[in-house]
Every structure is written in C-alpha cells, then in structure tokens.
C-alpha cells in the first residue's frame, strides 16, 4: 500500500472514530430530559431550550470551524472541539440551574460539536479521496457516526441507571476527552492552492448566487427539525403513552444501528444516481413513516419498527448533501460551504427541539410538532427536485487566490 492510500485510510479511520464518539454521546441526551427535569423541578422546556441552544451554537459556529479546517487542516479544530465537548459534559453533570444548563449543554457542547462532526470531518475526507469514490467514503464515515449512536446508547442508558444522571455525564465527559488525541492524529492535508482557486470571499459570493445552494440549505433545515425533535423528545413521548423508558432507549439504539445501513447505502447510491433525486425520495418516505407511526396503535413493537424505518433514513441525507456541495463547488472550501448548509440543519434542529418542549408544556402533548414534521417532509422533497448538481463554470482568472 503506497503512502497516499495509507494516508487516505488513516483519515477515514480516525474521522470515523471521532464522529462515532461525538455523535454517539450526543445521541443519548434525550434520555436525560426526564430525570434531570424531575430532579431539578424544571419543566421540559428548560432542558429542551438548552439542547435547542446547543444545536443553534453548533450551526452558527460550523462555518467558522469549517473555514479553519479548510485552511489549517482538521487536526487542531477537532482537538479543540473535543476539549470543549468534554468540558461541557462535565459542567452539565453539575448543573442545577437553567443558566448552567444553557452554558454547558448549550454553549460549550455546541462549540465542541462544531469541531468534531460532519462538516470538518467530511471536508477532510473529501480532500483525501478521489472524486469518483468521494460519495462512498463520505457514506462510510457518516455510517460510523450511526454506529456510535447504536453502540454507545445502551452504555449511556446503563450509566444513567447505575450512577444517576450527574455521575453518568462526568463519565461521558471522560469519553469525549478521547477526541483530543484522536484529533491530534488527524493530519489531513488542505487542498494545495491553485492559480484558479477562488478566494474565500469569492467562494461565498458564488454560493450565495447559486439557486441550488439555497434549496439545499432549506432542505437540510427540514432534516434538522425532524431528527433532533425525534431524538430528544421520542423517549418522553413514549413514556407519556405508557411505554417503558427502556423502550425509548432501544428505539434510539435501533435508529443508530439501521442508520449504518441507510447511510452507507445512500453514499453508495450517490456515486452513480442523482443525489438530489435520492434526497427527494428520502424526505417523502420519512413523511410516510412518521404518518404511519402516528396512526397505528402505539406499542413497543410499533416503536421498534419506527426506529428501524427512521434509522434507514436518519443520516442518509449527510453524504448526499455534502456530496452535492463537493460536486457543484469543488473541495477547496468544502468544510466552510458544508458548514453553511449545516447551519440551516441546526436552525431546523433548534426549531424542532424547542417547539417540542414549548408545545408540550402548552398543550401537554406533541401532536402539533408531529404534524409540522410531516408537512416539512413534503416541502423538502419538492425543494430537492429542483436542485442541479452540475459543477459551476468558472473563468480561470476570476477570484483567484492571492
């Protein structure tokens, strides 16, 4: 195996490990909503707002983390993100006020996630892998995040039952600290500057004037709304309907397990089929799955089937969405442009998780937000139908790097 192939494999393996930890730890946050809210005398909106803030901070800081990774490489960004993530979990374990929860679970973990998840890692992978294999490689790394969700969620539930929520969060902070040395080894190579490369400002102007870029952003808003609302509020929704809390943990684990299959398959299909068309069908099927879940009688079996079906569709959007950005705009500013698209995902995440807590406290159930999630599926499917992934045409002298 030559040096270039070894380097590429190392990027994929290390990136997979970092995303597995970052996404696996985050995926279990919904299990803490009920015990923390009960012990500390909060309504669910306090916890929901902190996680909504986390997603908002994650999204707002993602373009800047991505731009730093594009220029200096991913290693420093991932290591700094892992440190903030670990600190946020440790402080979350000691939170006893709404402010402490917002600073720890919201601000610090949000910043940590921006340096340890998809835009930064997939940008490094996109630079390391040949174009014809890029979608598949992104699918593999995204699937690793799904494996982390599946593998770590039962452990999170076990820690919660064994140690209680405070000590469990401290242990999770120790696991998050492992991302610091892993990030230090992630020595990706920023794309060498070419005479025809766009400057950062020119790349932003180019994307801002591209209709498909904004359609992609709006579609990813829907993805964030749906997955974070479900990931945070589904355990509570099941408990409210007389389903044991362990069932909610198992459902989220099934989401992670079957997302491995779904995300890998989406990345593979994106290598030879239209990525925008695949996204259209993905969002339509999501809407159908949510509708069926709400109309059939609720039981542990129906919840498990919902977890399996949603898992196949969960992060399948990620390699396809980032693949479209790379196909249209190239990889020179991939982490930054992917970060802007991801910002819209996180705006959707903020809206979904916060509205879930708000309407629950207002009406005592999640009926309104479930209906919004279904309508948004139809809207996202329509948006992606009009996206064209043809590379932009540039004049060699336009916007060149100084």
Q: What are the tens digits of pLDDT across the range 178-204?
A: 999 998 888 766 655 555 567 778 888
Please tell me the predicted confidence (pLDDT) of residue 328.
85
Residue 125 CA to residue 17 CA, distance in Å, equals: 13
Least trusted range by pLDDT, from 117-121, 133-137, 342-346? 133-137
Task: Check if 1-187 and 200-388 are the same fold.
Answer: yes
Model confidence at 15: pLDDT above 90: no
Residue 61 CA to residue 77 CA, distance in Å, equals: 12
Please tell me the predicted confidence (pLDDT) of residue 191.
58
Model confidence at 349: pLDDT above 70: yes
Least trusted range by pLDDT, from 189-203, 217-231, 317-331? 189-203
Q: What is the mean pLDDT of the chain?
A: 85
Q: For 106, which DSSP code? A: I
Per CATH, which fold does 200-388 belong to? Answer: Growth Hormone; Chain: A; (1.20.1250)
Helical segments of 241-366, H only: 245-269, 275-295, 300-313, 317-329, 334-363
Residue 39 zone, left/alpha/beta (φ > 0; ψ -120 to 50; rest)? alpha
Closest by Cα among 173, 36, 34 to 100: 36
In DSSP terms, which residues pair with 214 in a beta bridge?
A: none
What are the φ and ψ backbone dihedral angles of 219, each rounded to 5 degrees?
-65, -40
Q: Which long-range contacts (CB under 8 A, 24 or more apart) does 32-35 make?
A: 32/160, 32/165, 32/168, 32/169, 33/232, 33/233, 33/235, 33/236, 34/235, 34/236, 34/239, 34/245, 35/160, 35/164, 35/165
* Percent with pLDDT over 90 in the chain: 33
Please tell me the predicted confidence (pLDDT) of residue 9.
83
Confidence tier at 134 by pLDDT (50, 70, 90): confident
Residue 319 CA to residue 105 CA, distance in Å, equals: 27
Please tell me the predicted confidence (pLDDT) of residue 172.
94
Closest by Cα among 255, 216, 220 to 26: 255
- Report how far Cα 31 is from the mean position of its chain's Cα atoms: 18
CA dihedral 390, 392, 395, 399 (to 10 degrees): -160
Query: What is the mean predicted confidence (pLDDT) over 210-234?
Result: 90
Among 96-100, 123-127, 215-219, 228-232, the range of highest mean pLDDT: 215-219
Residue carrying structure tokens 């994106």: 270
The token pair at 184 is 């230090």
Least trusted range by pLDDT, from 115-124, 131-140, 176-185? 131-140
More reliable by pLDDT, 281 or 143? 281
Q: For the whole model, what pTM was predicted?
A: 0.77
Model confidence at 174: pLDDT above 90: yes
Please tell me the predicted confidence (pLDDT) of residue 344.
92
Mind listing the pLDDT tens digit for each residue in 262-272?
A: 888 888 898 88
Residue 45 CA to residue 359 CA, distance in Å, equals: 9
More reliable by pLDDT, 28 or 368? 368
Domain segments of the chain as ranges: 1-187, 200-388
Model confidence at 396: pLDDT above 70: no
Model confidence at 8: pLDDT above 50: yes
In residues, how long is the chain? 402
Residue 242 zone, left/alpha/beta (φ > 0; ψ -120 to 50; rest)? left
* Percent with pLDDT over 70 in the chain: 94
Confidence tier at 284 by pLDDT (50, 70, 90): very high
Closest by Cα among 170, 220, 152 to 380: 220
| CATH class of the domain defined by 1-187 | mainly alpha
CA dihedral 233, 238, 239, 241 (to 10 degrees): 130
Model confidence at 297: pLDDT above 70: yes
């Amino acid at each position: 195996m030559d040096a270039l192939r070894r380097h590429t494999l190392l990027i994929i393996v290390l990136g997979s490990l970092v995303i597995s930890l970052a996404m696996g730890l985050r995926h279990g946050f919904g299990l803490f909503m009920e015990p923390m809210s009960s012990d500390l005398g909060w309504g669910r909106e306090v916890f929901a707002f902190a996680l909504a803030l986390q997603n908002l901070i994650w999204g707002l800081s993602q373009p800047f983390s991505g731009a730093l990774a594009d220029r200096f490489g991913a290693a420093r960004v991932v290591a700094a993100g892992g440190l903030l993530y670990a600190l946020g979990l440790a402080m979350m374990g000691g939170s006893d006020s709404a402010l402490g929860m917002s600073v720890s679970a919201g601000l610090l973990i949000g910043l940590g996630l921006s340096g340890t998840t998809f835009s930064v890692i997939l940008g490094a992978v996109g630079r390391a892998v040949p174009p014809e294999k890029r979608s598949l490689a992104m699918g593999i790394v995204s699937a690793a995040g799904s494996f982390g969700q599946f593998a770590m969620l039962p452990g999170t539930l076990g820690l919660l039952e064994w140690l209680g929520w405070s000590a469990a969060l401290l242990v999770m902070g120790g696991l998050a600290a492992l991302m610091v040395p892993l990030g230090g080894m992630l020595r990706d190579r920023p794309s060498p500057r070419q005479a025809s490369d766009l400057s950062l400002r020119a790349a932003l102007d180019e994307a801002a004037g591209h209709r498909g870029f904004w359609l992609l952003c709006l579609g990813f808003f829907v993805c964030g709304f749906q997955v974070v609302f479900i990931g945070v509020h589904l355990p509570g929704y099941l408990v409210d309907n007389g389903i044991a809390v362990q069932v909610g943990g198992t459902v989220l684990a099934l989401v992670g397990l079957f997302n491995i299959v779904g995300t890998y398959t989406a990345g593979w299909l994106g290598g030879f089929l239209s990525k925008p068309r695949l996204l259209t069908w993905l969002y339509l099927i999501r809407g159908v799955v949510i509708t069926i879940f709400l109309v059939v009688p609720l039981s542990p079996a129906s919840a498990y089937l919902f977890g399996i079906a949603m898992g196949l569709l969960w992060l399948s959007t990620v390699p396809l969405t980032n693949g479209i950005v790379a196909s249209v705009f190239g990889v020179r500013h991939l982490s930054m442009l992917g970060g802007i698209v991801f910002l819209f995902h996180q705006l959707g995440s903020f809206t979904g998780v916060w509205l879930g807590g708000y309407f629950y406290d207002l009406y005592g159930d999640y009926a309104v937000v479930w209906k919004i999630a279904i309508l948004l599926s139809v809207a996202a499917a329509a948006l992606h139908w009009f996206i064209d992934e043809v590379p932009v045409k540039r004049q060699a002298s336009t916007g060149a790097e100084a």
